Amino acid sequence: MHKIYSLDDGRFIAYKQHKSKKNSLINIVFLHGMMSNMAGKKSNYLHHLCQEEDLNFLAFDNYGHGNSSGRFIDQTIESWFDATQAIMYHTSNNFKNIIVGSSLGGWLAMLAAVKNNIDISGVVALSPAIDFTETLIWNKLTEKNKYLMVNKGYIELSGNSCNSKYSISYNLISNARKYLLLNKSTINIQCPLAIIHGMQDQEVPYQESVNLINRVQTCYSTLKLLRYADHFLSDPASLSNISYAIKEIMQQINS
């Protein structure tokens, strides 16, 4: 059963939360990917893990997804990042937050660590789609489709791993340019980072994560490439690796 956090501007965020019975300060925050929601396999796995390990847990539907307000086509990286900060301020301000971000959520997790507006104690980035609006969408469009997107305001696209189409707005592309990370020679964050990427990923090439970790400056960072895993990292072996990465981050926090 989810809860609703209503903002003053009329928007609202659907979320679910588990609180530690022994007042653990560790809070696992799951950020889902684009066209996904908080009810996915990774989110449910982490929720169960936190119940077993007596850790705090937070997952939510970002704007335009699941049970939260807004249309997908109207959203931007800025609005999704605003939602991330808003729900964390509301629920998680006094915790040691480990953000587990999947795909788009990986980009948002990195932005949260870079901006450092709320206590981020660690990041686990899963198939992180850093700068995907530019490198994986805009740069791969034909000149004709770029023209159509600019003049129509959006175009219909589909992912490599699914047949369903979704509308990508030019506003999403243009707004995201303020939040690009991989155009920087160094990305400074103040917390441990673990990246996990499947080498069979058809949506975000694993080389993007190699590019990312080569730019990150932090106290502790790892990149694990899973030879047979795909973009979703929802198979049992991938889920076990996610659990292990979280526990490694916790060791770094407590050391």
The domains of the chain are located at: 3-130+182-254
- Which position has the token pair 């103040």? 190
Query: What is the model's pLDDT at position 162?
Result: 61
CATH label, 3-130+182-254, candidates 1.10.10.60, 3.30.70.990, 3.40.50.10490, 3.40.50.1820 = 3.40.50.1820
For residues 72-97, give the mean pLDDT: 97
Neighbouring residues of 44: CB distance < 8 A, sequence distance ≥ 6: none
For residues 163-169, give the mean pLDDT: 86
Confidence of residue 132 (pLDDT cuts 50, 70, 90): very high
pLDDT for 236 beyond 70: yes
4 strand-pairing partners: 14
155 strand-pairing partners: 168
- Percent of the chain exceeding pLDDT 70 equals 99
pLDDT for 255 beyond 80: no
For residue 48, give the amino acid letter: H
pLDDT in tens, 190-199: 999 999 999 9
User: ∠ CA 230-236-239 to the nearest 5 degrees?
Assistant: 75
Confidence of residue 54 (pLDDT cuts 50, 70, 90): very high
- Taken as a whole, the chain contains a residue count of 255
Confidence of residue 12 (pLDDT cuts 50, 70, 90): very high
Confidence of residue 112 (pLDDT cuts 50, 70, 90): very high
For residues 185-211, give the mean pLDDT: 98
Contact call for residues 170 and 133 (beta carbons, < 8 A): no
pLDDT for 163 beyond 70: no
Neighbouring residues of 102: CB distance < 8 A, sequence distance ≥ 6: 30, 31, 32, 33, 36, 42, 126, 127, 233
Which among 136, 133, 104, 124 has a CA at the least distance from the CA of 33?
104
